[in-house]
Amino acid sequence: MTVDRWLGRIPLDSPSVFLKLVPTLVGFVIALGLTFIPGVMSAHLPVFIVGATAVMIGALLLALLVPWRRVGPRWTVAVPLVAMASIALMRIGTGGSTSAIGVILLLPFVWIATEEGRRNIVIAAVGIFVVLLGPILVDHDATSPADLLRAFFSPVIYLIVAAVVNEIAHRSRVQLAASRAVAAQREELLEQAQRTQDELVLNEARLKTANRLIQSIWNAVTEQSVIGTDLDGVIDVWNPGAEKMLGLTEAQVVGHDRRVIEFHLVSELEDRLRDMDARFTTVVSADDFSALVDTVRAGYADVRDWTYVRADGKQVPVQVAATPRIDENGHRVGFIFVATDMTQAREFARLKDEFVGLISHELRTPLSSILGYLELMRDDDEAPLSDEQLQYLGVAERNAHRLLRLVGDLLFTAQVESGRFPIDITDAELRSVVSASVESARPGAAAAGVALVMEVPDEPVDVRGDTVRLGQAVDNLVSNALKFTPAGGSVTVSLRRDRDEAVVAVTDTGIGIPAVELSQLSQRFFRASTATRNAVPGVGLGLTITKAIVTAHGGRLDIASEEGVGTSISLHLPIETPAPVAEAVPGAEAAP
């Protein structure tokens, strides 16, 4: 049995008054029994012994019958006081000051002194004083000076003893309460530790299951390359798909300070860096990780086409989705690059482009023939058509021309994808190109209720380029701006010099484009969600053609838009002689 449990059994603050009375009751019964033995303890005044017995019985009944739990512990001292009165009567009846029964007084005295509260010190001392004074009051003639001295001096000693006993009991209660609190806290900690251990065991089992599942999934990802890096681009994650795609095992890459840019084409990294900041006048170092994660650092996921270079030097066209790696505190600790092999997709696209180009080329001949015969019917003076027939003929001509333009656009995009489309580089004056596009679009702008504004400088702006193709690019931008601008809005077409560049900007106050869709605008057949929601007609080829033309002239296409506010698209063309991206096809027929 521990000390704490042993102390817990001491009835210092026990609500059981009867248990506290038992020692006094036993002592009284023993003293009462001794009075019946001749020569041991004589009964001088039997009436007091009877009275003492009656009073002790009253104390017993008081301890048993009173609901002390409801009355409160402060009133329980009434029982030892009654017991003390019983012992006082017994003491008077068995010899008074000379009676040996007085020693039993210590039992109720200690009981009262150990109760909580300093007032019980005084109660215990006063009780002793009354008991010692009793024989003197009953038989004062037989009282000696020593009895008087004892009656008045002994309570002082008892008072001191009561104070000491009360303090010891108080400290014992404090220590007991502290021990119980510590024990309760220990029990609670043990229970909590047990619960924590059970949770840890359960979580460990769950973690093992999750790890096995993740490992199974990780090993199953063999068609996509997953590469993880730190903030500087050093590779620390390399999945089986990366092993298959790039020809290196995880052991050959992870832990060897290999960087992800080592598996990219240098030329593509340089082009990307130039696009990020067109103000660069020298070749930017290809060993710049920013080319891959600039968009991700800005807080956006980035999906872009790249070319991976395998360990054996073979090039693999891929589409890479770059995302940040986040720790448990929400801090970015690196990047994840998920790449999909686009070799088959590119081959399918090439075959599709060849098919589209073939079909488009074959469609042009019958369409041109149809338009020719429609023109002959309109100009036939020998058999003139009625007004109604001319109206029908006009509808047929407009639709035939529309179909011919669409076929031309399809043929042009197919030529762009193949890397060869017709372009004739000469001296081109952009003021006339912009003016021609604006004047051609004015009737449509007036019909749509859109203000068309042109801002061109007074001095010429000359570039080296294909006037027809540049005019086609500007026409596409103006046409798009008018289509996406509601009545009452405005479209501004401006031309300016910006150091060594000529900039043609088309700005509208139309429906705008969501920011997440801006990077996809130049893809073939892509249409913004705002266009589909507002049922704006089109097939999604205009910007594809425009970007191809601008790129062929060594320039770039910048797009800025805010949904519900408007869009601004600008063509940046070098004023010096460009190195055309697309090779001119001698003798090729230009698509309209």
pTM of the model: 0.40
Q: Tell me whether strands 332-341 and 224-230 are parallel, antiparallel or unpaired.
A: antiparallel
Residues of the chain with pLDDT > 90, as a percent, come to: 5
State the average pLDDT over residues 437-445: 85
Domain boundary among 417, 444, 465: 417
Mean pLDDT of 316-325: 90
533 to each of 401, 467, 530, how far by Cα in Å? 27, 35, 5
Tokens of 101: 């029964």
pLDDT of residue 57: 87
pLDDT tens, residue by residue, 411-423: 666 666 655 666 7
Tally of CA atoms within 13 A in the half-sphere of 299 that contains its CB: 2
Q: How far is CA 254 from CA 25, 37, 105, 333, 430, in A?
A: 88, 103, 89, 17, 54
Regarding whether 295 and 387 lie in a shared domain, the answer is no
Q: Is residue 456, in this structure, part of any structural domain at all?
A: yes
Q: What is the DSSP string of 123-144?
A: HHHHHHHHHHHHHHHHSGGG--
State residue 38's pLDDT score. Answer: 67
Structure tokens at 431: 């003021």
Rounded CA-CA distance 487/337 in Å is: 45
Q: Does one domain contain both 436 and 520?
A: yes
Domain presence at residue 212: no
Tokens of residue 415, six digits:
């030529």
Query: In angstroms, rounded to a whole number, what is the distance separating the alpha carbons of residues 329 and 214?
Result: 22
**Same domain for 319 and 236:** yes
Domain end residue (candidates: 358, 385, 417): 417
Average pLDDT over residues 301-330: 88
Q: Are residues 110 and 228 in the same domain?
A: no
Question: What's the rounded Cα separation, in Å, for the pair 205 and 195?
Answer: 15
Same domain (yes/no): 131, 89:
yes
Q: Specify the pLDDT at position 279.
A: 40
Is there a single domain that holds both residue 500 and residue 356? no
**Which spans in 221-285 are helix H?**
240-246, 250-253, 266-276
CATH of the domain at 441: 3.30.565.10
Buried b (16+ CB within 10 A) or exposed e, 145-158: eebeeebeebbeeb
pLDDT score at 138: 64
Residue range 472-499, pLDDT digits in tens: 888 888 888 888 788 888 899 999 888 8
Residue pLDDT, tens place only, 72-126: 777 888 888 888 888 878 877 777 666 767 778 888 888 887 888 788 888 877 8
Pairing of strands 566-574, 556-562: antiparallel
Q: Are residues 183 and 266 in the same domain?
A: no
Q: Which distant-in-sequence residues (6+ apart) come within 8 Å of 150 by Cβ?
A: 97, 132
Structural domain containing residue 157: 3-188
What is the model's pLDDT at position 280? 42
Please, which pLDDT band fits residue 337 given cuts at 50, 70 and 90? very high
Statement to judge: residues 296 and 358 lie in one domain: no
Helices (H), 35-144: 46-65, 68-71, 78-93, 106-114, 119-138
Residues 448 and 465 in one domain: yes
Q: Are residues 406 and 326 in the same domain?
A: no
Q: Has residue 584 been placed in a domain? A: no
Given 377, 396, 417, the domain boundary residue is: 417
State which amino acid sits at residue 335: F
Per-residue model confidence (pLDDT) at position 10 = 41
Residue 45 lies in a domain: yes
Angle at 422 between CA 420 and CA 428, to 5 degrees: 130
Mean pLDDT of 189-203: 89
Q: Are 239 and 175 in the same domain? A: no
Looking at this protein, which amino acid is placed at residue 547? K
Instruction: Between 42 and 506, name the one with better pLDDT.
Output: 506
How many domains in the chain?
4
Kind plus residue range of the DSSP H or E element containing 493: strand 490-498
Q: 313 lies in a domain? A: yes
Domain for residue 277, yes or no? yes
Residue type at 282? T
Within a domain: residue 214? Answer: no
Judge if 309 and 458 occupy the same domain: no
CATH number at 270 reads 3.30.450.20
What's the CATH number where 371 sits?
Answer: 1.10.287
Split at pLDDT 50, 70, 90, the class of 142 is: low
Query: Per the domain annotation, does 196 fall within a domain?
Result: no
CA distance 92 to 302: 107
Query: Which phi and psi angles does 531 have, rounded to 5°?
Result: -70, -45
